Each structure stands twice: as C-alpha cells, then as structure tokens.
Amino acid sequence: MSEGRVNVAGVDVSTEHYIGGRRVASKDRFLDRSPVDGSALAEVSAGGAAEAEMAVDAARRAFPAWAALGPEGRAPILRRFAEGVLARAADLAAVETIDNGSLLTGNTHRVVPRAAQNISYFAEHALTLGGHTIDSPEVVNHVRYDPAGVAVLVTPWNAPLMLTTWKVGPALAAGNTVVVKPPEWAPLTCSIMADIAEAAGVPAGVLNVVQGIGEDAGAALTQRLDIDRISFTGSTDTARLIGQAAARSITSMSSELGGKSPFIVCADADLPAAAQTVAGQYINAGQVCLAGTRVLVEDSIADQFLGLVREAVSHMTVGDPRDPSTRVGPLIHPEHFARVQGFVDRARAEGVDILWGGDRHNQGELYFQPTLIGGAKLDQEIFQKEVFGPVLTWNTFRSDDEVIEVANGTEYGLAATLFTGSEARAMRIASAVVAGTVWVNCFFIRELAAPFGGSKHSGIGREGGTWSFDFYSDIKNIAVRKGSFSGTGA
C-alpha cells in the first residue's frame, strides 16, 4: 500500500485530497473512527484555506473545456463513471458501513445502485434540455441551460455517497466543475468516488475533493468569492452560516436541511402496513433526515396501533450493521450519542412517558435503544427539535383539522408520511401539510425525476429532474426579433 492510503474493510482508500487530478496531502490530519466498533480507520488530510484555493483554481481551469464538451460529450464519460460506481459496489458498501454505521444490506442493494443512477440519470436528462423556445408577438425566446461555473458541494455523514452523487451527477452533467467537501465523520467513500471518476476519464480538475473539518475546509470553500454555486446538505444551523457566506459572494445556494417530519396514521389505514413502516423509522438508528419522527395516531385506534408497532419493533435487531439481520446500527459519534441522550434525558425530566427505550443499548458504546416517547406537549423540545437518532414521539388526534395543525406546528417542513384508506382524505391532508414530499401509504420512495427539497427551515430550493438543472445551470434567454435576419428569419 502506498503512502497516503489505508486499508479499510479490505479496500484500498486514499486519505488525501483530490485536486486537479492528483492526490494532495495536508500536514494537518484528522482521525476518522468507525462507529461500529470505535476502531481508528484513517488519519485523513485536513484542508483549510490553501487547499480550498487550490481546488477552486483547479476547477476554474478545468471549467471551459468541460463546459465546451456539451451534454453529448459529457454523457459517455459520466456513463462510465456510473458504471465504475456499480463495478465497485461491494467496496463502496463495505466502506460506507464501517465509516458511518449504516446497514450493509441497504448500502449494497439500495444506496450504491442509487449512487450510480444519480450520475447516469442526470447525464441522460441533460441531453433533453436544449432547444426550448417560447414564442411571443415580436420575438422568439430561445431558452438555454448554460453551465454555471464552479460548484461547491458540501455533504453530511449520514449518507455521504448517496448525497455526494446526488449533487455531483447533475452538477457535472450540467457542465460545471465541482469541489466536494465530504463529512469529517465519514469521508472515505467520497475518496473512492474520486478514484472511480479518474478511472472513468473525468478530466483533471473537473471533480475535486477537499477533506476536512466543517469550520475549516467547509467554511474556506463556501466563503470564497470566486465560486458560482453552493449545494449544501446538512443541519439548519450550518446552513445559516453558509448562507451568510453566499450572501457576501451573491452565490446561488441550495440547502437540504433537517426535519421533524410527521407520520400520520388514520383509523381507516392499513394498520399492519403502517405499523411496519413506523418501526422502519428506526433504521440506521434514525439518522435519516426524512424519518417520520412525530407519530400522530387517530385516537380511536391508538391502543390497537401501539400494540402493532410494539410487536413490529420487538423484531428489530440492534447490532453490528454488517450483520444482515441487523435493522438498527450505531449512532455516528460519541458527541452525537451525547446529543441524542441529552434530548431524551431532558424530555424525561420534563415528565414525558418513555413507552420504550430511552438509554444506551447493551450492544455497545454508540448503540441507542429504539425509543418511543408518549405524552410530549406540542411546545416541548422533544416534539419540536430534530433528534437525529432512534427516537420517536407518539401523540393522538381526533380530527383532520387538528392533525394538520399539529403536523405543521414545527419550524421544519421536509417530509410527511400519511397512512389512510381514503383517497379524498389523503389528498386533503397531504395538500394542507407544509412539506417538500408527502408519502401516502408508503415511505422513502424517491423518483429521480420528481422534485425534492424542504419547506420552511428544512431547505431552500428543489432538486431532482429538471429542478436540478434549474439550480446547476445559468438559464439564459436569447430573444431574437422576428424577421430581423435575411433569409428564413428567426
């Protein structure tokens, strides 16, 4: 193994930045530990202002040639990139699991194939964008999706590969060059992704990776004045900081942020299916932005439904995420564990009913019991704030108007889940709930062509399908006076 590379889960991974087509080391390092067993995985290069400058410069230099290729020239390279992701599915899944504790089966069968699609789907979609015209009495408006320039892409630890490719795919397909800032608690699959891009023929400087701590590398990149887009996924508090930087540079920013999503169960729903889906909110230890963490159950079936959920949760194994039978793995980091425990302890001190769980699981230091909290008041912290752990609240409602008001009663608006047997009721509640996505009688099904994003403090903007290109492109209108050219005219 060469210098600057480590063996993680049997996979050779570079610990260095990837800038201008080569690996670049920093003197400063940070230690990346596995949440699965606490083992040290890698001493990773920690970037700052110098690395940010180097990477943005490399991306800027690579931009004209990449943009000039057009969607047709970029598509074959991006297809090879997507195929490369699939070809290394086992490596990526194994490293993601050991690095962030997410379930190996989910990473193998769902996350890695989706990461490849994030690249291939947008490469194909870009081919369909040109040639849109709008007629008007005096002019013909020719609408173009031009590349924007250099995009800085900042991602969180709970789904690094999924979320990095969700940004890299459309940004590159639109003709931008990118600098990725992976999460410091789980940086490794992003480094593998850079190797895959290089092997696929993505030209030097088109995709760059600057690793490091958020306040250093992330801040240095997002505070640069010479960037053209910032796409951020992470917490609402960090978005406020990055937003201030984007305001100074007048840089378009998209944010996909936290949530405290309602999970509404009506009396006329398929209750066994709803109960299984409620139990599913504990998967990946609840470290899922879209999780429906406020369970709101119609009063008349509440006792019966609680029994069904209890039964479903009793079959969920907490343990090593590499074991196929595990449904609930570890929390990411001791700091995060203390945060989750703090939420539960404060709620307990305020007198809520802990219906189950509430403490560390005997599986190990970072494992938390699936937890259900009853009796929380609507203005209590546990009902209002994102915990980002396996902690759900349980409340009942008596009418649709009441559940709509309660569902909308937080600062967040990322998603909502609704189980009901009535289509009319589904559409009435789903229309009134403020959220970027509402799932009806299902959960977590995300079509790449559909819009995705958050309302209120859960985000700014929508991505997916054409919405991604609306963000990653400079949309231009060329308005040509009719009849102003000799020959055929405009």
Active centre residues (catalytic): 256, 289
Phi and psi of 402, rounded to 5°?
-65, -45
Q: How far is the CB of 393 from ligand NAD (least distance, A)?
A: 16
Q: How far is the CB of 182 from ligand NAD (least distance, A)?
A: 6
Q: How far is the CB of 446 from ligand NAD (least distance, A)?
A: 10
CA atoms within 13 A on the CB side of 86: 13
Nearer to ligand NAD, 257 or 301 (CB): 257
Q: What helix, strand, coil percent values describe the chain, rounded to 5?
A: 40, 25, 35
Angle formed at CA 255 by CA 188 and CA 237, multiple of 5 degrees: 85
Q: How far is the CB of 219 from ligand NAD (least distance, A)?
A: 4
Per-residue CA distances from 387 to 27, 66, 177, 337, 341 (Å): 35, 41, 35, 10, 9
Quick one: which of 309, 313, 315, 283 has its CA closest to 295? 309
Nearer to ligand NAD, 221 or 406 (CB): 221
Nearer to ligand NAD, 164 or 420 (CB): 164
Footprint of ligand NAD (CB under 6 A)? 154-159, 163, 181, 183-184, 214-215, 218-219, 222, 233-235, 238, 241-242, 256-259, 289, 386, 388, 414, 454, 459
Nearer to ligand NAD, 94 or 460 (CB): 460
**CA–CA gap between residue 321 and residue 324 (Å, rounded):** 7
**CA–CA gap between residue 93 and residue 87 (Å, rounded):** 11
**H or E element in which residue 85 lies:** helix 70-87
Nearer to ligand NAD, 175 or 464 (CB): 464
Q: How far is the CB of 457 from ligand NAD (least distance, A)?
A: 10
Nearer to ligand NAD, 153 or 372 (CB): 153
Helix residue ranges, H only, 201-286: 219-222, 236-249, 271-279
Per-residue CA distances from 185 to 42, 158, 160, 293 (Å): 11, 9, 10, 23
Q: How far is the CB of 156 from ligand NAD (least distance, A)?
A: 3
Q: How far is the CB of 9 from ligand NAD (least distance, A)?
A: 21
Beta strands per DSSP E along 148-220 = 150-154, 177-181, 207-209
How many other CB atoms sit within 10 Å of the CB of residue 272? 12
CB 133 within 8 A of CB 141: yes
Nearer to ligand NAD, 82 or 220 (CB): 220
**CA–CA gap between residue 363 and residue 321 (Å, rounded):** 11
**CA–CA gap between residue 363 and residue 329 (Å, rounded):** 9
